[in-house]
Structure 1
Amino acid sequence: MKIFTLIFIILFFISCSEPVEEITPRRAKLVESVYSSAVVQPDSLYKAYANVIGILENNLVEENDQVGAGTPIIRLINIAPELNVKNAKLNVEKARDNLSGPSAILKSLEKEIKAAKLRLRNDSVNFLRQKRLWEQNIGSKLNYENQKLAYELSSNNLQLLKEEYERTRNELSIQVTQALNNYRSSAYSSEEFTIHSKINGTIYALYKQPGEIVNTIEPLALIGSTNNFVIELMVDEMDIVKLEIGQKTLLTLDAYGSQVFEATVKKIFPAKNEGSQTFKIEAVFIKNPPKLFPGLGGEANIIIAEKQDALIIPKEFLIDENNVLTEDGPVEIVTGLQDLEHVEIISGIDENETLYKPE
C-alpha cells in the first residue's frame, strides 16, 4: 500500500508542469440553501372575467386605482336585461295586486261568500220553520221538501265558494312567488353585466376598452392586494424534499441590484409543474422593499441548514464527491453541509491536513 501511495504521489507531481494548488481546511460559517428563481406578485391576485357575452360600455376604474370588495369596475351594455327587469317588476306588482290589492280577485269572492252566508241563514230559517210546521202536520210536504232543498243548495254553494276562495288564494300566492323569482332572476342577469371586485385591492391592469367585444374566456382586469405581496419561487424537484414551512429565504431583486431582502417560506404547493419539472413555493417578506410591483423578478436562496463553526474546503478539491488528495494520496472523507462553493468535512481529515487540487 505504501509503495502504491508513493508511486501515486511521484506520478502526480511529475505530471504537473505547474505548481499544484494546495490548501488546508478552515473553519467558518457554512450555510446550505436551495436556489430558486423568484417573481413578486400581489397577494390574492386574480383576473376578472365576464359571465356573459357583450360589448364593453365603460371601465368604471383606472389602472392603479384602489377598490373595495364589491366595487363595480366594468360595465357591459345590457339594454335587453334592463327591459326584462322592468317587465318582471311589473309582473310582481300585478300579482301582488291580484292577491291583496283594492281590485283583487279575492275581494269579489269574499263578497260572494258574504252573500251566500246571508242566503244560507235565510234558507235555514225558512227550512226550520217549515220543518216544525210539517212535524205538526201543517202545510204540504212539497213546501217542506222545497225549503229543505233550498237550504241544502245554499249550504253547498257556500262550501263551494269557500273552497274556490282558498284555491284562488293559493294560486295567486304561487303567482306572486313565481313573479318574484322571475324578477330576482332578471335582476341577477342584469347584475352579470356589471363586473365587481371580489377583494379590497388595486387595479393592476385593464385589458379591454369601451366598444370592444367581451366574452367569457378573455380576462377584463387584473386585481390584487395593495400592500400584501408574496414571492413565487420555482424549486427543482430534486430539492423539494428539503423544504419546510418557515424556512428563512434570502432574496435579491433585479430592480434593487445586489440588495438582499429576507423572507420566510409560507406555502409549499404539492403539485409538480410537468413542463418545467419544478414545484411552486410561496414566501413572504419579513420587511417589504420600499416599492413593489407585480412581476418583479429576482433570485432566492432558501436556507435549509447552517453551521457556525464548520470545517470546510472548496468543492473543487473533491475527487468523486467523497475523496480528497493529500500528501499520502487519496483519502476518503465524509461530507456534510454544502453551498455553491464549499463543502463541510465531517470526518477523514482535520484542519492540519494539506490538500492538493486535483487535475
Structure 2
Amino acid sequence: MPVAQEVLEWFFYESVKGDKVDTVSPAPKRHPWRKAFRWSIVIFILAALVWSFRHFTRPDPLKVVVKPVTRGRVERTVANTRAGTVKACRRAKLSPSIGGQIARLPISEGDRVKEGELLLELWNEDLAAQVQFSRREITATRDRVRSACSRAGVAAKNAERQKTLFKSRVGTRERMENTVAEADALAAECQAARSEVRVREAQLAVVSANLARTRLYAPFDGIIAEINGERYEYVTPSPLGVPTPPVIDIIASGCFYVIAPIDEVDVAGIRVGMPVRITMDAYGNRVFEGRVRRVSDYVLDVEKQARTVDVEAAFTRTDDFPLLLAGYSADIEVILETRPDVLRVPTEAVVAEDTVYVFAPAKGTIERRKIVAGLSNWDYTEVREGLTADAQVVVNVDLPNLEDGARAMVIEETP
C-alpha cells in the first residue's frame, strides 16, 4: 500500500505540474500518449488492489466429504427405541413347594440335563417310610379281600344249594334263610374289603404326592444356569408377597428369541412374519436373520419413558443358537417395505428431508439441490427426482457456511 500511495502521489503531482501554464516561458510541446499511459498505470494499480483484496479476504474452500449417487436396494424399516434382550424360548426358575433340608443335589451350574432328570431332593425319609407303610397296608388289605371274597363265594354256593333243597321239600325254610343271610353278609364283607383297598390306595397317593413335593425334576432338556443352595442347607418357600430367589434356574438351549420395545408411533405397520435384522453388541456388526413372531397386545406406559410396544423376533437360522446366550443385549430392525433397484443417496446427506448439496468438480463449488425422496432408512434414501447417477453429494452437511455456490475441496472421509 505505501508503494501504491507513492505512485498515485507522483501521478497526481505530474498531472498538476503538466497542467500548469508558464506565462513567461513558451508552452512546451505536449505528448498525448503520456497522459494515457498515466491512466493505464492507475487502472492497473486499482485492478491489482481489488484482486489482492478479494484474494486475501475470501474464505478458504470448504473441506467436504462426498459420496456418489448409486443404484441399489432401499428399505423402509423401524427399529427399537431401547436395547432389547435375547431370551430363551423356555426358561424355568424352580423351587420346592415345601421347606426342608437339601439332601441330594446331583447337578452343577452349566450342566446339561434331560427332561425328567432329578435336580434336587429334600430330606424325606419320613415320607418315604409312610409310602412304604401304605404300600404294605394295601398288600395286606388285598389279602383280606381275597379271603373275604372266597368265603363269600362259598356261602353264595351254599345258599343256592339250600334254596334248591327247600324247593324239593328236603330242607327247612329256617336253614335256607340262615344260609342266604350268611352269604349276603360275606358278600358285603368282600365288597367292604375291596373298598378298603381303594382307600389305602388313595392314602398312598397322598403320601406319594407329599414325597414328590420334596423332589425337583427337569421340566425339559436344558442347561443349569444358576443354583442358589448347597447340600444340607435349608430352603423355605416364598412367603405370601415376598419373592425369594429360585433354587434352580434352567434354560432350554435349543431355541432363542429377542424381545425389544418399539415406539408406539412405529408399531402400527409391523405384522407377524415380517423379516427382521438382529444385531448384538457381543458380535459387533454381524447381522442375524429373523422374523417377527409376536406383537404385544398392549402399550407399556413407563414413567419418564416413551410409550412402547414389545415386539418379539425369532431367529430364522437354528445354526445361530449355539452362539447365543440368554440375556445378551440386542437390537432389531423390522423391514416394512423394500425397493430393489432405485436411485439412492446416503441418508446422512439429506437435509430437511428434501435437500442435498452436490459438489461440482468442474467449478469447485457446492450446488444446493431439491429432491423428491422416497423410502428411507438409516443408511440410504431413495431419490425419485432431482439427481442423476453421476452426481456426488456432500455427507458432512454440518459444516459451517455450507451453502449454494460456496467454494469447496474434497477430502477423504475419516474412518
Question: Post-superposition shift, 1:269?
Answer: 3.6
The 2-side partners of 1:291 and 1:124 are apart by: 90
- Residue-by-residue CA offset, 1:177-219 (whole Å, 9 max, x unaligned): 1211221232122112111011112112112223132315542
Q: Return closer, same or farther for 1:254/1:212 CA change in 2, 3 Å cut-off.
A: farther
Q: Find the residue that maps to 1:271 and give its secondary structure.
A: coil
- Say whether residues 1:215 and 2:258 are aligned partners: no
Aligned to 1:145: none
- For residues 287-306 of structure 1, what are the structure 2 equivalents within 5 Å? 287-288=319-320, 291-306=323-338
Match of 1:284 among 312, 315, 324: 315
Match of 1:44 among 84, 90, 99: 90
Work out whether residues 322 and 335 of structure 1, in 8 Å CA contact, stay in contact via their aligned partners in 2.
Answer: yes
The 2-side partners of 1:265 and 1:281 are apart by: 9
- For residues 48-67 of structure 1, what are the structure 2 equivalents within 5 Å? 48-67=94-113
Deviates more, 1:239-248 or 1:104-113: 104-113
The 1-side partners of 2:206 and 2:379 are apart by: 66
Structure with greater proportional strand content: 1
Aligned to 2:227: 206
The 1-side partners of 2:92 and 2:263 are apart by: 26
Aligned to 1:105: 148
- Say whether residues 1:92 and 2:124 are aligned partners: no
Letter in 2 for 1:63: E
Letter in 1 for 2:382: E
Match of 1:263 among 275, 289, 296: 289
Work out whether residues 54 and 215 of structure 1, in 8 Å CA contact, stay in contact via their aligned partners in 2.
Answer: no
Aligned to 2:185: 164
Greater relative contact order, per chain length (Cα 8 Å cut-off, separation 6+): 1
Work out whether residues 74 and 194 of structure 1, in 8 Å CA contact, stay in contact via their aligned partners in 2.
Answer: yes
- Say whether residues 1:309 and 2:355 are aligned partners: no
Work out whether residues 317 and 355 of structure 1, in 8 Å CA contact, stay in contact via their aligned partners in 2.
Answer: no
- Residue-by-residue CA offset, 1:149-197 (whole Å, 9 max, x unaligned): x711112112212222222222211111121122123212211211101
The 1-side partners of 2:393 and 2:316 are apart by: 42
Q: Return closer, same or farther for 1:118/1:264 CA change in 2, 3 Å cut-off.
A: closer
The 2-side partners of 1:89 and 1:170 are apart by: 20
Q: Return closer, same or farther for 1:203/1:305 CA change in 2, 3 Å cut-off.
A: same
- For residues 71-220 of structure 1, what are the structure 2 equivalents within 5 Å? 71-100=117-146, 104-109=147-152, 127-128=169-170, 151-210=172-231, 211-215=233-237, 218=244, 219-220=246-247
Q: Where in structure 1 are there 5+ consecutive unaligned residues?
A: 1-16, 129-149
Q: Return closer, same or farther for 1:114/1:351 CA change in 2, 3 Å cut-off.
A: closer
Q: Where in structure 2 are there 5+ consecutive unaligned residues?
A: 1-58, 359-365, 404-415
Q: Return closer, same or farther for 1:152/1:298 CA change in 2, 3 Å cut-off.
A: same
Match of 1:337 among 372, 375, 387: 375
Letter in 2 for 1:86: Q
Work out whether residues 289 and 316 of structure 2, in 8 Å CA contact, stay in contact via their aligned partners in 1.
Answer: yes
Q: Return closer, same or farther for 1:43/1:117 CA change in 2, 3 Å cut-off.
A: closer
The 1-side partners of 2:203 and 2:77 are apart by: 61
Letter in 1 for 2:75: V
Normalization by structure 1: what TM-score?
A: 0.71
Deviates more, 1:184-193 or 1:207-216: 207-216
Question: Post-superposition shift, 1:351?
Answer: 3.5
Aligned to 1:243: 270
Q: Return closer, same or farther for 1:312/1:328 CA change in 2, 3 Å cut-off.
A: closer
Aligned to 1:12: none
Q: Return closer, same or farther for 1:190/1:345 CA change in 2, 3 Å cut-off.
A: same
Work out whether residues 230 and 285 of structure 1, in 8 Å CA contact, stay in contact via their aligned partners in 2.
Answer: no
Normalization by structure 2: what TM-score?
A: 0.63
Q: Find the residue that maps to 2:261 and give its secondary structure.
A: strand
- Residue-by-residue CA offset, 1:209-247 (whole Å, 9 max, x unaligned): 231323155422221223433333333332223333443
Letter in 2 for 1:33: T
Aligned to 2:69: 26
Q: Find the residue that maps to 2:271 and give its secondary structure.
A: coil
| Bigger radius of gyration | 2
Q: How many residue pairs get matched?
A: 314
Question: Post-superposition shift, 1:316?
Answer: 6.3
Letter in 2 for 1:207: N
Work out whether residues 261 and 308 of structure 2, in 8 Å CA contact, stay in contact via their aligned partners in 1.
Answer: no
Work out whether residues 240 and 279 of structure 1, in 8 Å CA contact, stay in contact via their aligned partners in 2.
Answer: no
Question: Post-superposition shift, 1:322?
Answer: 5.9
Question: Post-superposition shift, 1:284?
Answer: 0.7
Letter in 2 for 1:283: A
Q: Return closer, same or farther for 1:226/1:53 CA change in 2, 3 Å cut-off.
A: same
Q: Return closer, same or farther for 1:61/1:121 CA change in 2, 3 Å cut-off.
A: same
